[in-house]
Structure 1
């Protein structure tokens, strides 16, 4: 299904974009620290706002520049409970050319943004990467079974939804078949890859071909090439 292919590359792209953003913000903060001047500031107010039906707070800080100009600023993040208290003294970093863009000299104020972007970026990237890697490994296994596997004829059992996967509110279908190994009197049940339309009407009375690893029948590939190709 095209949606699944779109999802894995979307996760990969978002991950790379977030990692790039994290590196950008890190370099920006590092450059800011290199040229920033320091001053002592005081938390003069805790500004309230609502987030997810709870009250959060961010500090309003007052400090004086080297030239004696009073500047007020607030952080870009809010917390609950408050990270600072009224009247608390904090060290301030500021650019003499843009004192209003000052920041409290603390890990959260300086590095929380790059850290969040970096962590989310790695998570998104790894999800996309492992989906793509899983597909590559699976395709390699299928090629091996097609070239080296033992072809067996299995009996159609039933069709059911794959409730473990949903895309845009839709669940794919799975074809189940079974095969009795007369040498061991063991019954094996096989299932197809995900099918994004109901295949029931296209399953005839002919046996369903399955390629198995002779050394391990649990490794197999069901041949569903008899089904029509879905074009949308």
Structure 2
């Protein structure tokens, strides 16, 4: 599946490059913008499909347990437009596998508020073959990347297709 999607993306890039270099499509700034915008959008949609499938496969292979929030790691992010710093809090979670192994990890997804109290219970998914490969069992922790890629990539793809159809009257 991954190879097919990458092949489609590569073919689209080659067709676009050929169309510009052969003179079939004039290499005006607006045409180049539409092509790049569309290529990036399609690439993001393909990335969202790949990450969606990887997440589904990972979830199917995981076990679920209840963990405990033991701390938070904070990461600062500076917003140049608003000239302010926002701190994101990533929960550090401790859990015990079904086999009795103690594991501690820090979630890769954080929020601007501490979503759970320290000492609070939280769902955890982990791979039995690699308990260190664990995630908080919450929707955003599991599905954030495919959602963001789709939310940006789909509109970019549709806008570039719409612009291309309106310009070239295809």
Paired residues of 1:37 and 1:94 also in contact (CA < 8 A): yes
Instruction: Name the count of aligned residue pairs.
Output: 138
* 1:127 shift after superposition: 2.1
Q: 2:158 aligns with which of 111, 116, 126?
A: 126
Paired residues of 1:46 and 1:85 also in contact (CA < 8 A): no
Q: 2:72 aligns with which of 46, 53, 62?
A: 46
Deviations 1:150-183 (A, max 9, x none): xxxxxxxxxxxxxxxxxxxxxxxxxxxxxxxxxx
Paired residues of 1:38 and 1:94 also in contact (CA < 8 A): yes
Higher relative contact order (CA 8 A, sep 6+): 2
Q: 1:109 aligns with which of 137, 141, 144?
A: 141
The residue that corresponds to 2:53 in the other structure is: 27
List alignment gaps of at least 5 residues for structure 1.
141-232
SS of residue paired to 1:87? coil
Q: Which runs of 4+ in 1 moved over 4 A?
A: none
Q: Which structure would you say has the larger Rg?
A: 1
Counterpart-to-counterpart distance in 2, 1:136 and 1:103: 47
**Mapping 1:65-214, distance limit 5 Å:** 65-137=97-169
RMSD between aligned residues: 1.5
Counterpart-to-counterpart distance in 1, 2:115 and 2:122: 12
Identify the structure with the greater strand proportion: 1
Identify the structure with the greater helix proportion: 2
